[in-house]
Amino acid sequence: MIPTLEWLPTGVNFLDQTKLPLEETYVLATSYQEVATVIRDMIVRGAPAIGVSAAMGVAIGIDRSKTTTLDALTAEVDVICDTLAATRPTAVNLFWGIGRIRDLYNRLVEGGADIATIKKAVVEEACQMYDEDIAACKQMGAHGAALMPKTGTVLTHCNAGALATCGYGSALGVIRAAIERGHTIDVLADETRPFLQGARLTAWELMKDNIQTTVLCDNMAGHLMSKGRIQAVIVGADRIAANGDTANKIGTYSVSILAKEHGIPFYVAAPWSTIDLATLTGDGIPIEQRAATEVTHSNGKQMTPDGVGIENPAFDVTPAKYVTAIITERGILRAPYEESIRAMTAQEQPI
Ligand code: MRU
């Protein structure tokens, strides 16, 4: 299993995704501020991975606190949570991860726990979230495998793999699970400009698993679809609104329309923590704007003339009407999504 992130006695260890595929190096974050930097700089990225990273960030902040009173610790926890919440706005998993440790902290304080007990409990909770994330990926795989073609080519956009989760992956987990169940699948990975998650990360992790992978530029998918070369599309998600509108890496929206035009199923795979019932439609999802230099420069080299205008929204929203199904660890959601999401929310959950 690719070690995307790991809680160690010395800190939280992250595989540096900015260096892949050329270098396999690690960054050890020993404070919550360092975890925040790791998330902001996309050393770790992908919604489920940043959710658990943020939880570990809150836990390390509490665990390493030098304060001796609960009042002082609570004031510090406010700062820790605010700092981590300010790193990236779109993936709701980040806020879910912070909220889960914060809620536990509040419950422990209300229950009269001492500081040592709180420190131990929050670290254990963050580590449990790590295990749950891998279990959720495996469950998504189990639910979604049958949706993949028995034999054929599947297109994916960005990286929704082991590197974007604590292991195994959401969209790539479904592909892995289908292959484990005997499907013959090769993967087309959109390069995913400007950060190149497809070219650098999806290609790297699938090749490690000996899964046949081909990288294409983002503007080539329509052509290949028109030639019958793509049997299904599967992507991850950063936030799914209550009506099924799905925010994912910039370019996903265009792929969804192309898939619709060519009659190709378009699947989203995401853990339940990506569903944001408080956001009713995609219009309410905040879209992260990243630095212009991600677009103007490639590998340190300037690609555009000085002074030209630059757009760099990191995500877009795919309307629910283009989504064939949403694969979660709880099961498969189908349209109308308001109803299927509400019904599955109400069910008793094993994970
Ligand atoms: O900017 P990133 O690399 O964090 O964006 C990641 C994506 O858009 C992924 O597709 C999404 O988080 C799902 S990961 C299972």
Cβ count near 222 (within 10 Å): 16
Is 228 marked as a binding-site residue? no
Which amino acid residue places its CA nearest to atom 15 of ligand 1? 160
Q: Are 259 and 265 in contact (CB under 8 A)?
A: yes
CA 298 vs CA 21, 302, 341: distances in Å:
15, 7, 40
200 C-beta closer than 6 A to ligand 1: no
For residues 286 and 256, give the distance between their C-alpha atoms in angstroms, rounded to a whole number. 20
Residue range 34-62: mean pLDDT, rounded: 98
Q: What is the pLDDT of residue 349?
A: 67
Which amino acid residue places its CA nearest to atom 10 of ligand 1? 236
Tell me, which fold does domain 141-348 have in CATH?
Rossmann fold (3.40.50)
140 C-beta closer than 6 A to ligand 1: no
* Alpha helix ranges (H) inside the chain: 32-40, 47-63, 70-85, 92-110, 115-144, 171-180, 203-208, 221-226, 252-261, 293-296, 337-346
| Alpha-carbon radius of gyration of the chain | 20
**Positions marked catalytic:** 238
Axis-axis angle for helices 47-63, 115-144 (nearest 10)? 170
Helix (H, G, I), strand (E, B) or coil at 266: strand
Q: Is the pLDDT of residue 92 over 60?
A: yes
249 C-beta closer than 6 A to ligand 1: yes
Query: Does the reported pTM lie above 0.95?
Result: yes
CA of 144 to the centre of ligand 1 (A): 19
For residues 282 and 66, give the distance between their C-alpha atoms in angstroms, rounded to a whole number. 42
For residues 251 and 334, give the distance between their C-alpha atoms in angstroms, rounded to a whole number. 23
- Topology agreement, domain 5-139 and domain 141-348: no
Q: What is the pLDDT of residue 347?
A: 84
CA of 161 to the centre of ligand 1 (A): 9
ipTM for the predicted complex = 0.99
CA of 48 to the centre of ligand 1 (A): 8
Helix (H, G, I), strand (E, B) or coil at 246: strand
Question: Ligand 1 pocket check: which of 15, 139, 156, 248 to mutate, most ligand atoms within 8 Å of Cβ?
Answer: 248
Ligand 1 atom, smallest distance to 170 CA: 15
For residues 314 and 72, give the distance between their C-alpha atoms in angstroms, rounded to a whole number. 37
What pLDDT digit, counting tens, does each position of 315-333 carry? 999 999 999 999 999 999 9
Token digits for 269? 């795979």
Cβ count near 110 (within 10 Å): 8
5-139 has which CATH code? 1.20.120.420
What pLDDT digit, counting tens, does each position of 233-268 carry? 999 999 999 999 999 999 999 999 999 999 999 999
Residue range 99-113: mean pLDDT, rounded: 98
- Domain spans in the chain, listed from the N-terminal domain onward: 5-139, 141-348
252 C-beta closer than 6 A to ligand 1: no
CA of 342 to the centre of ligand 1 (A): 24
Q: Are 314 and 98 in contact (CB under 8 A)?
A: no
Q: What is the pLDDT of residue 1?
A: 79
Q: Is the pLDDT of residue 350 over 60?
A: no
For residues 223 and 258, give the distance between their C-alpha atoms in angstroms, rounded to a whole number. 10
What pLDDT digit, counting tens, does each position of 274-331 carry? 999 999 999 999 999 999 999 999 989 999 999 999 999 999 999 999 999 999 999 9
- The DSSP bridge partners found for residue 189 are 156, 215
